[in-house]
Structure 1
């Protein structure tokens, strides 16, 4: 096969290079013929048996001081001969690493010595927890069920910064935090790391003798080389399935895992109440104190119950709010710790979008409708309040993962006032119960089968929702080929009907090696809607896609590695059947030997696209999207240097007048020293002669009446400036500041009426539309600014215990006239009414066993 591929590439090279310059020819071949740069040579690797390390039982605990001076360390078996994973997979390390493991009835202990040439070669930038900066680090990875899919990671740096993560079929989850001990020191030309990982931080079966998957990693940042004890081949799919083995741990029992993390917090806010015609703004202020608790309880050796009672999310990072002119909702990142930690089971299949919990009230518009009844809306909350949350998760010795999630959101009310000044409340969100249940069976060869159910139950007449889904992955013995799939049934239960919808997807491919391929078929019915607890942007579609990749993992020429791929897709409307879209995408990226990374991409939509979503009313309406193409590239410099730079430029051109998009991303970062760093980001996007939905009318609001759909031609400019500053006092104390200003404006130049054939006809709109209540002077121009500051002081004064102080500043302004010029917008934003808040929060971690032992000693 490789010989045939080589001949095919050679033939295509000779053909295309007859018509293009040498540079253009090579660029085309790199983008559309993956593997050209490597001349189609598949790198063969000889499988090696997994390494094995024996743990040594101890009777007296060791002191976690980063010195390893207890004699017992010298009696333990040594793990050494680490193998390079990047940038050149395969060679053994030149500067040795030696690791030993001890254990007792409470914890496992890890001692590692990283030899180097001099102390100056050991980079040690300080950072926040789970933040890998410009530093060396060492880590241990454990697969405690030995299922080759799920694992734990614990890492530290020479400066003592802790990092931990969970691993699953979804990838790695750095938001997971456990309570464990570590220390590090620099001794001569070496640095030492020492860990104590209590069994309460792990999950494992109750077998008399444990066999765990095991790996160690060392990062030597001065050369940007990474090493694993048991070789991790980047050409092989998966991470946990490439671990060695830890043996010798006998007769241990999972301890009583009970911990409490109570909190107290104080919150004060000053916010604008109203702005008078003179421009003067009145401000109100609120102060409140609250308390709550997080509880972790180990129901058994494998299952853990997590609860949060009266949670406080006032200190989470502000959302990156944007001007949304698209037909789809904006998906925000999750920043709330309860929904970030230990949720890998619940995120299987992408059926769960945690921001649904605590989001906008489902009947938010009911308050606005009350204005037609003569009421004035005094207050209409934009968020609901979560009362409590519970997670139960774990995995049996047979590899069956079980997860149950529950969250309760309280009722939300809008405050209304009638013409006589009497105030009343109207419910905008009922008491709501959110539930998820997951069964996830791990199989051999990095395979699994998963069943997921999500359910939303609302009090009263507001509809309920349910979704049942299944997903699977089956790989061959060498994890070289795999078939995967997913399917789901969605249900919405209204008082007079039930809406049913379905989706399914099947994919097959070669997932390991230099040359990889994939093919998939996906169907989403017109009534499938998982959005009560999940998120889906487009339904009513059927799509087939194929992809080819060729990756070079070994250094060649001036490159350390190179990744290329090409993908094509064909989509049709599910009901009624109609063509939607055909596309081709290709990209290439890699890292040079000077550790500068770069990439380029190219996308084509060579035939007319039929957009059924932009008209915003469903049914048979569509907009004929013109043929278009796009290309761009990016560069990222070596982050080891004090000054580093990321740049990306993109262009998209349309077969339509002067319509085009240009995007520019520039992000320099400067590291003053190992404590202080700055990162600035400029993101600019310009859409010239963009076309989009404006308005929709229906003569008598009936299905029989003719719809009138208005589109507009507009220039849209968006500029985002973000500054992040970090000062790290120690590996437990830091202060960070993040300031973001976002400006976006749309200037409409011409209006059109959308025809039933998907074409645009020029229209005099808004003139002549008074019958629909549209004034002749009405403008759809819009100018939107938002500014946020998040300043956070954090001090981890004890394991799992934190004091945090957060100041937030928020400004938001939207007007129906375009204000040209970035600096005019920034100045206007800074003088607009703003909200300032200050919160102080104290968390204290209480472990039952630690507390019991301390009291017993007294």
Structure 2
């Protein structure tokens, strides 16, 4: 209670300080530019000699953002941009001056990737409200990159259909763009006023410029846009598009070959000028990337990143509050079947089939964001065979299920928001249902220097009765200037559970944090920037109360004038830890000795042909022979502007760690173990042009664990050596996969992908195998060989209408 009261006093104190500031986002200097209406045809080819571009107002006088914030762009590297429009969209012509065009960096990549490239882009906000902008970026190699930029994050999974062309010329390089109005969001009115900023990156000097100056001392990027005027009498177009797909697969596994053909469609419809309806019909996610599975010895499930495009794009509203984990929709079945003594499980579905899903999202003129997600998965059954009669029976392991997410996000004051989130999972029949609700707030003062945030959340689970859980947090921080700080508190009760549609692990704890940071944001001496951070974290169990641990952490990073980054840090727990999760039993805990952790890292200049990043992290425990070593190595070799190779090596060596080994009646057993993990990955890409590429991805993960001694866990968290408990818990896990992918963007929004996959894995009840024997065992396991072809074609209603 005392901790909560102190935090409340801090919030009031800093609120009074913040209230003395009176600078608002409206007082930020904003440049203005007029767009002219186009009355002639225009070819998007990157050549700016068209008569139509003469006598068009020019945007210039860009200002450096990094590394010398606020410095004017030199005349030798000046940028000139012009805007035209017609009834269908915006047209942009940009000339990037460069005294030596031969030094312009232009590495080819796949769409939505920027590598060793100069680039130019526009950031446009149709509502001119500093809340959400759209990014359209073109690299000097002609590669398109697009995304959504909000006050909180940058979503590069969003894809639009637009047009661009690039040319290297005697002045430097030039780009022409057309952005159709159906990709923008703006209100229905006669005279438009768009928020606008423009960016330019010169890679060889690692300098970033903006048209409207962006102050890196405070606030966020969206506050610093200028204004695009002059667009009149433009009707909001019908925003309706269809993306039908065709796919075919040939799968070979364990000597059996299967072939299937699929077809379906994604649909996108603009309900009005602000809201969009997205739907996937008969979805096909067969070409999603493999999950990087590991040997998981923790009490919690492994969390995987989303790989399916429908769930990755346009989800900025649904990610509010971290209550929606989209992998639950179409994930694993929720129950495992009951199998009798004389029965064998012969068929168990690894994944639940998604029947359909849709999203509605957008933001009103007054800053209210609304998001609605709904997904339906099919009934899935397991097959069980009677060993005596041979008869089979079916058991439902996942019924027809409806998943729903509802979000209301009210933004105000440029940087502030209050958000309501609700998620629900409803399964047909007498299966588990769940609901979770959250209220979030994120308030920034008028001067954009202090931030006050927090949340209150509740979870309800109906499964043989109803269980209610709750969590909450509150914090305040200063996020401007060289000196910054933050204090916060988090409380999570024992029944908090959102795992039907979210992802939660730790429960029944309180966490109180204090952070101080010092940063140099302007070049000084031999440094371009410096970040120093100091953290103090205290954890305790809520029920029954128990002090768990106190953690001190210091980390730092530096970037020098050669654009090499380096740093490190230390972390230690002076009083050790009482781990309340490893015993897998409520009310019990394991005493873990204190540790001193230190780490170092170095990242070389990414502009070089050969880039290398190395790091080492070493935990020394206050226990003889116990330590944890985590080195890593990253090598990237740019053979040319078309060929790029990356190798990553991430081993982990854990000596004499203690972890859960088993449980019998009221006895909990722990084991002292040795664990070694090696993860190798190799990726390579050859890019033919800005629309066509060939990529290779390889990963081999190997981990083994050997138990040396077993113990009985005592009630005080200590260990008592046990010589009678001796199960075979030695394990070796291997995972191997290779992806070879050919991608061709043959038309705007349309793609052909040809994919070959080879994958296998094994899980053995042995450890410390010889390297050769381990590989022999791995490749004796059945392997998946998969060939697939997928074609998607974008159809815009406005274009199709003109065909007729």
TM tier relative to shorter chain:
over 0.9
Task: Indicate how the Cα distance of structure 1 residues 824 and 240 shifts in structure 2: closer, same or farther if over 3 A, else same.
Answer: farther
SS at match of 2:205: coil
Q: Give me the TM-score of the superposition, normalised by structure 2.
A: 0.95
Rounded Cα–Cα distance in structure 1 between residues aligned with 2:223 and 2:773? 56
| Maintained 8 Å contact 2:562/2:605 | yes
1:287 aligns with 2:244: no
Rounded Cα–Cα distance in structure 2 between residues aligned with 1:150 and 1:824? 55
| Maintained 8 Å contact 1:147/1:443 | no
Rounded Cα–Cα distance in structure 2 between residues aligned with 1:427 and 1:170? 42
1:459 aligns with 2:428: yes
Q: CA deviation at 1:237?
A: 3.0
1:67 aligns with 2:47: yes
Question: Hey, what does 1:597 align to over in structure 2?
Answer: 565
Q: CA deviation at 1:476?
A: 1.2
Cα RMSD over matched residues?
1.3
Rounded Cα–Cα distance in structure 2 between residues aligned with 1:396 and 1:757? 57
1:113 aligns with 2:81: no
Question: Hey, what does 1:410 align to over in structure 2?
Answer: 378
Q: CA deviation at 1:822?
A: 4.3
Q: Structure 1 residue aligned with 2:761, among 793, 812, 836?
A: 812
Rounded Cα–Cα distance in structure 1 between residues aligned with 2:385 and 2:786? 28
SS at match of 1:339: helix
Q: CA deviation at 1:216?
A: 0.5
1:53 aligns with 2:26: no
Rounded Cα–Cα distance in structure 1 between residues aligned with 2:775 and 2:138? 41
Rounded Cα–Cα distance in structure 1 between residues aligned with 2:651 and 2:174? 45
Question: Hey, what does 2:489 align to over in structure 1?
Answer: 521
Residues 190-228 of structure 1: CA distance to partner in whole angstroms, max 9, x if unpaired?
A: 111111111111112223322222110001111111111
| Maintained 8 Å contact 2:706/2:768 | no
1:350 aligns with 2:332: no
| Maintained 8 Å contact 1:743/1:822 | no
Q: Structure 1 residue aligned with 2:242, among 239, 251, 260?
A: 260
Question: Hey, what does 1:422 align to over in structure 2?
Answer: 391
**Superposition map of 1:353-432 within 5 A:** 353-363=325-335, 365-366=336-337, 369-370=338-339, 372-419=340-387, 420-432=389-401
Rounded Cα–Cα distance in structure 2 between residues aligned with 1:633 and 1:659? 20
1:655 aligns with 2:604: no
Q: Number of matched residues?
A: 775
1:534 aligns with 2:506: no
Residues 641-662 of structure 1: CA distance to partner in whole angstroms, max 9, x if unpaired?
A: 1111011110001101110000
Rounded Cα–Cα distance in structure 2 between residues aligned with 1:308 and 1:60? 39
Q: CA deviation at 1:61?
A: 4.5
Q: Structure 2 residue aligned with 1:309, among 281, 285, 290?
A: 281
Runs of 4+ in 1 over 4 A off after TM superposition: 821-824
Question: Hey, what does 1:737 align to over in structure 2?
Answer: 696
Residues 296-322 of structure 1: CA distance to partner in whole angstroms, max 9, x if unpaired?
A: 111111111100001111101111010
Gaps of 5+ in 2: 1-26
Question: Hey, what does 1:443 align to over in structure 2?
Answer: 412
Q: CA deviation at 1:242?
A: 1.7
1:83 aligns with 2:63: yes
Residues 7-62 of structure 1: CA distance to partner in whole angstroms, max 9, x if unpaired?
A: xxxxxxxxxxxxxxxxxxxxxxxxxxxxxxxxxxxxxxxx8612221222223342
Q: CA deviation at 1:465?
A: 0.6
Rounded Cα–Cα distance in structure 2 between residues aligned with 1:210 and 1:150? 16
| Maintained 8 Å contact 1:516/1:550 | yes
Q: CA deviation at 1:149?
A: 2.4
SS at match of 1:105: coil
Question: Hey, what does 2:462 align to over in structure 1?
Answer: 493
Q: CA deviation at 1:823?
A: 5.1
Q: CA deviation at 1:471?
A: 1.0
1:784 aligns with 2:752: no
Rounded Cα–Cα distance in structure 1 between residues aligned with 2:522 and 2:772? 48
| Maintained 8 Å contact 1:697/1:708 | yes
Residues 476-511 of structure 1: CA distance to partner in whole angstroms, max 9, x if unpaired?
A: 1110111011121111123x4211111111110101
Q: Give me the TM-score of the superposition, normalised by structure 1.
A: 0.89
Q: CA deviation at 1:827?
A: 4.5
Rounded Cα–Cα distance in structure 2 between residues aligned with 1:828 and 1:663? 27
Q: CA deviation at 1:824?
A: 4.3
Task: Indicate how the Cα distance of structure 1 residues 829 and 59 shifts in structure 2: closer, same or farther if over 3 A, else same.
Answer: same
1:334 aligns with 2:306: yes
Gaps of 5+ in 1: 1-46, 273-282, 699-706, 768-777
Q: CA deviation at 1:608?
A: 2.4
Question: Hey, what does 1:171 align to over in structure 2?
Answer: 153
| Maintained 8 Å contact 1:445/1:476 | no
| Maintained 8 Å contact 1:145/1:399 | no
